[in-house]
Structure 1
Amino acid sequence: MSDIRTFDMFCGGGGSSLGARAAGARIVGGVDLWAPATDSFTLNFPGAAVFNKDLRQLTPSAVIKKTGDIDLLLSSPECTHHTCARGSKPQSEESKETALQVIRYAKAMKPRWIVLENVVHMRPWARYPELKEKLGAIGYHLREQILDASNFGVPQKRRRLFLLADLKAVPQAVLPNDEAVLSARSILDPEGTWPTTVLRTPGRAKDTLARADRAIAQLGSKASFLLVYYGSDGAGGWQSLDMPLRTVTTIDRFALVRPGPDGKHRMRMLQPSEIRRAMGFPEGYVFPDVTRRERVKLLGNAVCSPVMTAIVRSLCQPSVSHEIASRPAVGRAWCSDARSLPSERVAA
């Protein structure tokens, strides 16, 4: 596994690469346009070639000159414009088309494996079939899966689309591990680590208090819980600590509420250290010297690293039943397992 040289397109804070490294792969490079992302990548992957620029303006040959041959290509193209995250703002087709850059890099680098990750909403995109068709024309066998991070030891409900590609075989299905499902309670820093404020103050937003009242009515006045902002799924704007965290995004959306010894509830926002645990990042992950808001964005943009660990291990595990390297390159087989794994439909 240590011989699997890996390059991370849209590397962000390094979630995919952290997962690949945990599986034994060697991270030799990454590219991202956002400086805090490449700063983070540099800190956590010393020795890797890091490019802080638009990968559309970067040539694969320039990458290979610094990294050497690439065996595994990781790609997490821009996803915001595939979802409702922008609200009523128009979606950008140019942003969506950054996903097609994986074709250009695959042609030049010829990696054995490719893992492309994105939101599930990418599937209806008009050019998604074209992306798969062109990868097949290059010679890749494909498998499409929707994986929920909570099935891989991550304390978060996070469903994402993964397109797996292998030049020699149809990739095996990635199966959940045997670890117990972790709850949001498991990510919390010890009580007293962070300052809190009284929930019921004159300046508190009415919507926030309404969320808290719904939670207290359901759980009782002695239970702790999370308020959930920016998104609705009929859950009332709160969630229990005894279930995995709802999907982490690029903005603060979770507030912890606990009853105080004086009978008054107190609250605080979840901190980057806690969100890092919710993403499955290792304890040794190093944040760059950026604002708290930028740290939250780094995490919310990332791939849950234990999911990528499971994917890379599955890709690199020999399987005679899936080995079809002798077949012609054109018209390579592909398989969709989008409905093959247990999942719960949870809104972001």
Structure 2
Amino acid sequence: MRVVELFCGAGGMSLGLKQAGFEIVNAYDAWPVAVENYNRNISSHAKVTDLGDILSVVPELLRLAPDMIAGGPPCQDYSSAGRREEADNAKLTLAFAILVATVRPAWFVMENVTNAAKSSTWQEARKILKAAGYGITESKLDASRYGVPQSRRRLFVIGRQGERDGFLASSIAAAAAPQPMSLRDLFGEATPAAIYFPATSEARRSIWSPDEPAPTIRERSIRPLPVSYRPHPDDAALVENGFVYARPVRAGRGVRSIDEPYPTVTRTASERPGPKYLSSPHPADPVAASSTVVLSIDQISRVQGFPASWQWRASAKRDVLQMIANAVPAPVAFAIGRAILDREEGKSAPAIEGRFLDWLVRRGRSRQSARNVKSLAGRARRLLDGKTFSVQALELAALESVEEFKAIKRNPQSDLRQALRLLAEYQTEGQQRQKRSQIAAQPIDEELRKAA
């Protein structure tokens, strides 16, 4: 499949999609430094482009006729690290939607911070994409479950022409690892016992164990441990094989192993160690915050999913860190890319929710009959190579055109059609309930905004 990436940055998403088996034909970004690094490491097809100027981009995209458009519009207006005010950067999410709706590739992938899902800008962009005929899957993913040692949660929106909403959710969920990836998984035994990442606010901790995902990488992530730093109450200083700090009671230990019970939780359990404790720690405490190390730019780059061979070039270290922080981790893009290709090639089919079985029983079917219907619906989806349809008539017409279906006897054919009809009815009812709940919540939200 041929892909164009918008808002490509230094190329994290392109790298992952390329590794998954896609052909990246063009990429665009407004930042010359990022484009230079993209071209240095991936290919020379990235261009410096103002994607807010939609009319200047559309002709070239139409000429390229990509199978998929991917991209991560700037997230600053939605990010928890920013002001959360929807302004010019948020409008680029609309630009992305308009470009996709105009070019009409078979697929699109959009990445952003999770807060974007609640924004009015995304709701408007979503309407544009739905009007253009896309079924949409919205998944909030933790990068540490997709091959990245970092607890980075991001919204990924995947669209495909003619599909039902949520069509790829089960495949993306199935690609997640059962356990998060840790820094030790990446760096091995060379990893230090504990690592310092400057917290973004007083409410966050700064000490992290190599056995847990790192916090979201930002441009300030390699600042040295300041002399004046004092651990935050949430600084669960997990060290070596994992230790946590809790305010000691009656001169007890402040640092405990995660292999032993946590001390009784009290109203003071979240207090930070005070100056007195820091100057005179318990003799059994295994580590102090001052013993941690700082990751190098190379290490941060690998934590973000870039290979060790990646060559960063910029006049300022701040720019390198900004590029790393902005990037979509390549392993996450790879996982999503493989889910898309597997569906495109008919190697996967959407899982059928267990609640469909209960819905059938409530409608008067026996448990065994309901299981049979669910099994038939799954078989019909496999005959359709995993593709779902937003229009029931098109789904049934597509089923009729499948050679394997034509070879089936009349009665089993009828059963397969009926199973798809029932599944579509169940899904439609669920969507209607969701819409009603959203409408019912709107007046409440409006009153809350007025009260604020």
Contact 2:30 2:49 (C-alpha < 8 Å) held by counterparts: yes
Shift of 1:158: 0.5
TM-fit CA distance, 1:254: 6.0
Give yes or no for the alignment of 1:131 onto 2:128: no
Q: RCO higher in 1 or 2 (8 Å CA, sep ≥ 6)? A: 1
Distance 2:111 2:289 in 1: 44
Structure-2 separation of matches of 1:82 and 1:240: 28
1:268, CA displacement in angstroms?
Answer: 5.1
The residue identity in structure 2 corresponding to 1:282 is P
Match of residue 28 from structure 2: 31
Moved more, 160-169 or 39-48: 39-48
Match of 1:52 in 2: 48
CA distance in 2: counterparts of 1:168 and 1:282, whole angstroms: 37
1:277-335 CA deviation, whole Å, 9 max, x = no partner? 11112333232344322111111001111111111111222233542347289xx9998
Task: Indicate conservation of the 8 Å contact 2:196/2:293, yes or no.
Answer: no
Greater fraction of residues in strand: 1
Matches within 5 A, 1:332-347: none
Aligned to 2:60: 62
- What is the alpha-carbon distance in structure 2 between the residues aligned to residue 154 and residue 246 of structure 1? 11
The one of 12, 16, 21 equivalent to 2:13 is 16
Normalised to the residue count of structure 1, the TM-score between the two structures is: 0.74
Structure 1: gaps (5+ residues): 193-222, 337-348
Question: Which is richer in helix?
Answer: 2
Structure 2 vs 1, CA of residues 235 and 81 (structure 1 numbering), >3 Å: closer, same or farther?
Answer: closer
Structure 1 equivalent of residue 140 of structure 2: 146
Q: Distance in 2 between matches of 1:282 and 1:256?
A: 26
Q: Is the 8 Å Cα contact of residues 32 and 38 (structure 1) preserved in structure 2?
A: yes
Distance 1:267 1:237, change over 3 A: closer
1:184 counterpart letter in structure 2:
L
The match for 2:77 is 81
Does structure 2 conserve the Cα–Cα contact (< 8 Å) formed by 1:5 and 1:27? yes
Among residues 127, 152, 160, which one is paired with 1:158 in the alignment?
A: 152
Letter in structure 2 aligned against 1:241: P
Q: How far did residue 39 of structure 1 move?
A: 0.5
State yes or no: 1:122 paired with 2:116: yes
Which AA in structure 2 matches 1:118? N
Determine whether 1:270 maps to 2:298. Answer: no
**Pair 107,92 (structure 1): closer, same or farther in 2 beyond 3 Å:** closer
Matched letter for residue 57 of structure 2: T
- Per the normalisation by structure 2, the TM-score is 0.58
User: After superposition, what is the alpha-carbon deviation per residue over 1:38-59, rounded to whole angstroms, capped at 9, x for unaligned?
Assistant: 00111123242x2212112232
Report the CA distance between 1:275 and its aligned residue. Answer: 1.0
Q: Secondary structure at the match of 2:77?
A: helix
Does the CA-based 8 Å contact 2:163-2:390 persist in structure 1? Answer: no
* Map 1:148-297 → 2, pairs under 5 A: 148-170=142-164, 171-173=167-169, 174-175=172-173, 176-178=175-177, 181-188=180-187, 224-232=193-201, 234=203, 236-253=205-222, 255=224, 269-297=294-322
One-letter amino acid matched to 1:44:
N
Cα distance in 2 for residues equivalent to 1:293 and 1:179: 35
> Percent identity among equivalent residues?
25
Q: After the TM superposition, which of the residue ranges 121-130 and 232-241 deviates more from structure 2? A: 232-241
Deviation at residue 180 of structure 1 after TM alignment = 5.5
Work out whether residues 305 and 331 of structure 2, in 8 Å CA contact, stay in contact via their aligned partners in 1.
yes
Query: CA contact under 8 A between 1:141 and 1:167: conserved in structure 2?
Result: yes
- Opposite residue 180 of structure 2, the aligned amino acid is V
The C-alpha deviation readout for 1:213-232, integer Å capped at 9, x for no partner, is xxxxxxxxxx8312221424
Q: Decide whether the 8 Å contact of 1:7 with 1:72 is kept in 2.
A: yes
Query: How many residue pairs are counted as aligned between the two chains?
Result: 293
- Bigger radius of gyration: 2
Q: What is the DSSP-based 3-state SS (H/G/I as helix, E as strand, rest coil) of the residue aligned with 2:184?
A: helix
- When the two chains are superposed, the root-mean-square deviation of aligned CA atoms in Å is 3.3
Q: 1:326 to 1:124 in 2, by over 3 A?
A: closer
Amino acid at match of 1:146: K
Supply the AA of the counterpart residue of 1:73. I
Distance 1:56 1:253, change over 3 A: same
